Amino acid sequence: MLDWRWDFTWEILPRLLAATGNTLLAAGIGYAIAVVLGLVLALAQRTPFKPLTIAVRESVEFIRSTPLVLQIFFVFYVGPQFGIRLSPWTAGMIAIGLHYAAYLSEVYRGGLESVPKGQWEAAKSLNLSMSRTYFRVILPQALPPSLAGMGNYLVGIFKDTPMLSVIGVAELMHTANAIGSETYRFLEPFTLVGIIFLLISLPTAALIRLFEAWTRRKLGLG
Amino acid sequence: MEKADISGLPLRLEGDNVPMVSFKKVTKAYGDLVVLDALDLDVGQGEMVTIIGPSGSGKTTVLRMLMTLETINGGVIYVDGEPLTHMERGGKLVRADNRHLRKIRSKIGMCFQHFNLFPHMTALENCMEGPVHVLGLSRKEAQERSEELLALVGMADKRNQHPSRLSGGQQQRVAIARALAMRPKVMLFDEVTSALDPEVIGEVTNVIRQLVGEHNLTMLMVTHQMGFAKDISDRVCFFFGGRIEEQGTPEELFGNPQKERTQQFLSAVKEAT
Amino acid sequence: MSYLEFLSQYGDRIVSGTLITVALTVLAALLAMAIALAAGLMRMARNPAVRGVATVYIEIFRGTSLLVQLYWIFFVLPLFGISLEKFTAGFVAVGMNLGAYGAELVRGAIQSVPRGQWEAALALNMSPAKRMRRVILPQAILIMLPSWGNLLIELLKGTALVALISVTDLMFQVKQINGTTFMSAEAFGTALIIYYVLARFMITPFMRWLEGFMMRKMGRA
């Protein structure tokens, strides 16, 4: 019934592994953008300037409620309409970075809100400055509850990188597709892609859980 | 409510015997709910004033406003003669800005019902945080001061423990040391024994008793421990409906309450214990 | 071409694509719920083999990408003799993927029903199946409903990927329109707004209503 061909498997494996490098790179860059931009979006929602707060809040909702693949198309194709030509990589990184920034901003927001009100009050009663209160009192406590969410989205962004193939970023899925259309064999490339994803995402998820526990202990919160 | 008239109030309190804390026509409301209704209350230098009353009577709000944790809708609070909630601009009192608040706030320390120790810092680090980063003390000085105070509250041997390793009573004692490390002139105790198991209440009240004896501190306390209030206070204020219903020395207030509401409250409390 | 002209010319295709998207979402959601319940319960079974099957299923579908799963189901499954028509392959992939996430919600919700409820049901001498159906599940459903609201939005977003195996959903239609007109902002922008409206003004209010309905039914409101 099934004809899995090992010789073909060994032949295409190096190509897929090379593409895995691109997948990891895309996930890494996208995540770096999301981590920083997400914090900006979260803090922007805490400013007393209401119009900004509402605008950011609604944008985050919008980004979270619409498909990433559509956002990738949007960023890639709408630029040229207005004379801005973005490479697949640039467009892809903007789209995926922004998408996950919206998710991470919610994680940070949850983390910040999980710090009991009494901590703010104690900081105030000791007359700590605003920056000192944030950096020394609030953020260290907001971080551990955020770590689980941050970890999930690290794995999430990695698993969403195949969508970048739709605009021609040469990551894992794109390469598997190319192999499929060259050779008319889909079994091995698609199965290998699945296995590669599992082999990376499962241990990563486990490592993140360990890291989370370690951080809690380190901060004396365990 | 916002525009309550404060024009008749002085820019600062001067003369002999200026009270350490002075509430003048202080009003606080959440929407339609008036929590404090034109409160006037003076607390003298070194005085220990206890506030009692049913829940919702506004007693905790008094402390929280003094610590600037709540904004004020009307009136002015003075600390050490200077306005706290307001500041002088061109001969008039205007709402205080952050700089002014930080300056006056440094005279006040507070202990909370739920301790609010920073969970990621040890007992010692909790005490040193303010002295180092607000008062600008060297780490060495701050550590000496903190260790001294931790010893005073009987927590010297636990100084390197995180709060999660301490009992409620121990946490509250560290919180007292932390507040004292800022050398405040006024200490606020907001139901500091309410979250504690009965058997450890004594260790916290003993520390407060000691402070009355040793330090020339002005103290304001909200508590449900009537016996403790009776022992320790110079004056007891009974709050009801956002006002001081009755006040006097512990002997007067507990021994011979004049108002009906005070009598009802005290007998209800007595029955419960 | 103005945006109005654009809409009058391509409105029909956008509407038909939207209907396909809605159909995919509903079918995938039903499949996901069934799988979530089955896999969630199996994950807590005493029998290690049953538990193992559920765990492997959940880990595989949560550990790889929806797109990979979709391609695998559409291109590779026929080699095993299972050929699914592309529309079916589309909602099956989305349903199986989100079902794996839903299984964890089911498990979490069941585990957070207070211990005392199990004990009370046991004390009434209910059979295990009856305990689950009559006492535990109704409470678990209430606990997990808010999370299902988010999951259904993820599911709606997931259906956009089936355009890549040429199911003529909303995503597919606007991609085609973009290919012929190059009016990318109009085409993709319109689709973004439609997805947003479906998520925020259909799914979210529906789940809110359902929550209220369940609460009343269970006498919590």
List the structure tokens of C216: 């009343």
The pLDDT value given to residue B215: 64
> B46-77 pLDDT, tens per residue?
999 999 999 888 899 999 999 999 999 999 99
Question: In a 3-state reduction of DSSP, which class is residue B2?
Answer: coil
A105 interfaces chain C, CB cutoff of 8 Å: no
Question: B65: closest CA among B247, B222, B237?
Answer: B222
Q: Which of the residues A61, A64, A66, A72 would you substitute to probe the C interface, choosing the one with the greatest number of C C-beta atoms within 10 Å?
A: A66
* C125-140 pLDDT per residue, tens: 888 888 888 889 989 9
Interface predicted TM-score (ipTM): 0.92
Residue B5 belongs to some domain of the structure: no
What residue of A is the nearest CA neighbor of B189? A125
Determine the distance in angstroms separating the CA of B256 from the nearest CA of chain A, rounded to an integer: 37
Q: What is the mean pLDDT of residues C46-63?
A: 95
Q: What's the first-to-final CA gap in chain C, in angstroms?
A: 53
Q: Each residue of B151-206: pLDDT tens digit?
A: 999 999 999 999 989 999 999 999 999 999 999 999 999 999 999 999 999 999 99
CATH topology of domain A6-218: MetI-like fold (1.10.3720)
> What residues make up the domain containing B168?
117-183
Please indicate whether, in this complex, the C-beta atoms of A197 and C63 are within 8 angstroms of each other: yes
Residues of C in contact with A189 (CB under 8 A): none
Distance separating alpha carbons of residues B121 and B136, to the nearest angstrom = 19
How many residue contacts between A and C have a Cβ separation below 8 Å? Answer: 117
Given a contact cutoff of 8 angstroms between Cβ atoms, the answer to whether B62 and B51 are in contact is yes
Cβ atoms of A160 and A174 within 8 Å: the answer is no
CA distance A67 to B255: 73
Mean pLDDT of B116-142: 94
Residue B161 is given by DSSP the state: S
Show which of residues 120-179 on chain A sit within 8 Å of chain C, judged by CB atoms: 159-163, 165-166, 173, 176-177
- For B69, nearest residue in chain A (alpha carbons): A121
pLDDT at C95: 98
Residue A24 has pLDDT above 50, yes or no: yes
- Quote the CA–CA distance of C213 and C207 in Å, as a whole number: 10
Question: Alpha-carbon distance B53 to B241, whole Å?
Answer: 9
Helix (H, G, I), strand (E, B) or coil at A126: coil
Strand partners, B30: B33
- The answer to whether residue A212 scores a pLDDT higher than 80 is yes
In the predicted model, is pLDDT for residue C220 greater than 70?
Answer: no
Q: What is the DSSP pairing of strand B218-222 with strand B235-240?
A: unpaired
Residue ranges of A 47-66 with Cβ closer than 8 A to chain B:
none
Question: What is the DSSP pairing of strand B82-83 with strand B235-240?
Answer: unpaired
Q: Give residue-wise pLDDT tens across range B102-111.
A: 999 999 999 9
CA distance A192 to A199: 10
The answer to whether A80 faces chain C, any CB pair under 8 Å, is: yes
CATH number of C3-217: 1.10.3720.10
Residue pair A151/A203 in contact (Cβ under 8 Å)? The answer is: no
pLDDT given for residue A222 in this prediction:
57
Among chain B residues, the shortest Cα distance to A118 is held by B116
- Domain membership of residue B121 (yes or no) is yes
Q: Assign residue C153 a region (left: φ > 0; alpha: ψ between -120 and 50; beta: otherwise).
A: alpha
Is A187 an 8 Å CB contact of chain C? Answer: yes
Domain boundaries, chain A: 6-218
Our count of domains for chain B comes to: 1
For C217, the 3-state DSSP assignment is helix
Is B144 a domain residue?
yes
Residue C163 in contact with residue C169, Cβ under 8 Å?
yes
pTM for the full predicted model: 0.83
User: B2 pLDDT band (50/70/90 cuts)?
Assistant: very low
Dihedral angle computed from the Cα positions of residues C209, C214, C219 and C221, in that order, rounded to the nearest 10 degrees: -20
Lookup: tokens for A203: 């241990």
pLDDT at B146: 97
